[in-house]
Amino acid sequence: MSLDGTYDPNNIFAKILRGEAPCARVFEDDHVLSFMDVFPQVKGHTLVIPKHSSARNLLEEEPQVLSPLILGVQRVARAVRAALEPDGLVITQFNGTAAGQTVFHPHFHILPRWDGVAVGRHASGGMADPAELKALAEQIAAQIT
Ligand code: AMP
């Protein structure tokens, strides 16, 4: 899918938001939902998505959605740091297929990084054990402030 197109209300994140698909939930408020990536590039790979969006990427997003979204990203990233004590964190997002985007609902990736620990390639890893993801989600959720 190119950068231009129509929002698909049946994308997987829209289904998660409607409760039609499961997720290992970390945090939610009125504006954002955060959950574990099921194909993690590294332990603790966490996603943050806006709840009320019909944009397919960051470029299309409304300012009133972006503001609480980035605050949610910071809040969850701080909790990831507190829970998993990484040496650093990568926070990223992709726009368009050519850039690596695979789900066309805006989202940020939070990837904890440890010195000497490699990260898997984007969108090419195996599916994580749901029980492990749930445990990680609870560990991070306990550090939300
Ligand atoms: P992107 O490729 O930037 O669009 O990111 C989409 C991310 O969503 C990828 O890292 C996928 O591993 C992840 N993903 C896909 N399906 C699910 C799902 N059902 N639950 C959690 N994460 C998912």
pLDDT digits (tens, 9 = 90+) for 92-120: 999 999 999 999 999 999 999 999 999 98
Q: Is 23 in the pocket of ligand 1 (CB under 6 A)?
A: yes
- Per-residue pLDDT tens over the stretch 64-99: 999 999 999 999 999 999 999 999 999 999 999 999
Distance 64 CA to ligand 1 centre (A): 24
Question: Is residue 47 pLDDT above 80, yes or no?
Answer: yes
List the domains of the chain with CATH numbers: 12-141 (3.30.428.10)
Active-site pick, 45, 105, 107, 109 = 107
User: Given CA atoms 111, 123, 42, 128 in this order, what sign does their dihedral have?
Assistant: positive
Q: Quick check: 104 and 1 in contact, CB under 8 A?
A: yes
Instruction: Give me the residue label for tokens 């000497």.
Output: 116
Percent of the chain residues past pLDDT 90, beyond the cut: 92
- Cβ atoms within 10 A of the Cβ of 54, count? 16
Furthest CA-CA distance within the chain = 41
CB-based contacts of 19, cutoff 8 Å, min separation 6: none
Asked whether the predicted pLDDT for residue 62 surpasses 80, the reply is yes
d(CA 2, CA 29): 31
Does the structure show a pLDDT above 90 at 124?
no
- Regarding predicted confidence, which is higher, 126 or 63? 63
Tokens for 21, please give them: 């698909």
**Position in ligand 1 atom list of the atom nearest CA 37:** 22
Task: Determine whether the shortest distance from the Cβ of 12 to ligand 1 is under 6 A.
Answer: yes
- pTM for the full predicted model: 0.97
Query: 105 catalytic, yes or no?
Result: no
Asked if 122 and 34 touch (Cβ cutoff 8 Å), the reply is no
Distance of CA 22 to the CA centre of its chain: 14
- CA-nearest residue, atom 10 of ligand 1: 123
Residue in the structure block whose two tokens are 């938001």: 17
